[in-house]
């Protein structure tokens, strides 16, 4: 079993990475491989709504990690997205990344347990956390919870390491993710996946 963890900060080894590393370490204690992928600090294009991905399953823009991560997420059993809090929201580059990772490509992600993790200096964690969870709850991905909303506090990795409760929340999240992944694994072959009804888009037109 493996979990894909996206570090959505421009800082490769910053606060978000520190939180994700705590999750990854505990997942590995449960025998689950944890792969942290950094989105990098280069520009990430937003979705241009061209719809080409509907035919190809990939984004037309191939100069950032989005297409690679589509493949990694299809192969993963679980998914965790981490972001620094920017103005009470996830990092804009990460939102661009996730829009293109999910738009018209999310069917193979269904039933993979997922969670969001955010890092902030002081405030806005809940709003950023809620925004990230929207990707999962529109994609039939079970959301894994912890003992509190998944945030750490700090402006530097050293400060995050002083947030004992925040790191405990990360470890509990990993425990809960591991437990759910193992439950799903046991159920394979005996409990069928839900059968989806055909989509009935109404677009608010009467």
Ligand X SMILES: Cc1cc2nc3c(=O)[nH]c(=O)nc-3n(C[C@H](O)[C@H](O)[C@H](O)COP(=O)(O)O)c2cc1C
User: How far is residue 36's CA from residue 57's CA, in Å, rounded to a whole number?
Assistant: 23
| 170 binding ligand X? (CB under 6 A) | no
Q: Which residues pair with 37 in a beta bridge?
A: 6
Q: How far is the C-alpha of 141 from the C-alpha of 135, rounded, in Å?
A: 9
Q: Is 12 in the site for ligand X (CB under 6 A)?
A: no
Residue 50's closest CA among 111, 103, 118? 103
From candidates 11, 52, 171, 182, binder to ligand X by CB under 6 A = 11
The C-alpha atoms of residue 21 and residue 6 are separated, in whole angstroms, by 11
Residue pair 117/82 in contact by the 8 Å Cβ criterion: yes
Locate 175 and state its tokens.
Answer: 């425990």
Cβ(34)–Cβ(26) below 8 Å: no
Q: Is 78 or 84 the residue whose CB approaches ligand X more closely? A: 84
In the list 30, 52, 121, 171, the residue contacting ligand X (rule: CB under 6 A) is: 121
Residues 46-105 that bind ligand X (CB under 6 A): 84-88
Least spacing, CB of residue 80 vs ligand X, in Å = 14
Closer residue to ligand X, CB minimum distance, 70 or 98: 98
Q: Rounded CA gap, 76 and 50, in Å?
A: 27
CB closer to ligand X, 119 vs 150 = 119
Helix (H, G, I), strand (E, B) or coil at 155: coil
Please state, in angstroms and rounded to a whole number, the distance separating the CA atoms of residues 83 and 79. Answer: 13
What mask of x and - would describe binding to ligand X in positions 184 to 203, judged by CB under 6 A? --------------------
Least distance to ligand X, CB of residue 52, Å: 31
Query: Toward ligand X, which CB reaches closer, 59 or 117?
Result: 117
- Closest approach of ligand X to the CB of residue 177, in Å: 20
Binders of ligand X among 138-167, rule CB under 6 A? 154-155
Q: How many residues does the chain have?
A: 206
Near ligand X by CB under 6 A, which window of 14-22, 39-47, 64-72, 132-140?
14-22
Select the residue whose beta carbon is closest to ligand X and give its number: 14
Contacts with ligand X, residue ranges (CB under 6 A) = 9, 11, 14-16, 84-88, 119-124, 154-155
């Amino acid at each position: 079993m493996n979990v894909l963890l996206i570090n959505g900060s421009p800082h490769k080894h910053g606060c978000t990475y520190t939180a994700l590393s705590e999750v990854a370490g505990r997942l590995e204690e449960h025998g689950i491989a944890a792969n942290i992928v950094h989105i990098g600090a280069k520009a990430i294009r937003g979705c241009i709504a061209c719809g080409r991905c509907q035919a190809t399953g990939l984004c037309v823009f191939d100069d950032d990690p989005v297409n690679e991560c589509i493949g990694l997420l299809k192969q993963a059993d679980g998914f965790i997205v981490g972001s620094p809090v920017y103005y009470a929201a996830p990092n804009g580059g990460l939102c661009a990344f996730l829009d293109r990772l999910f738009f018209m490509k999310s069917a193979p992600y269904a039933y993979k347990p997922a969670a969001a993790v955010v890092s902030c200096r002081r405030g806005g964690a809940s709003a950023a956390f809620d925004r990230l969870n929207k990707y999962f709850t529109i994609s039939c991905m079970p959301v894994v919870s912890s003992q509190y909303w998944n945030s750490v506090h700090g402006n530097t990795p050293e400060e995050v390491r002083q947030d004992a409760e925040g790191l405990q929340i990360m470890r509990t999240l990993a425990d809960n993710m591991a437990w759910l992944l193992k439950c799903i694994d046991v159920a394979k072959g005996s409990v069928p996946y839900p059968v989806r009804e055909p989509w009935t888009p109404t677009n608010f037109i009467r």
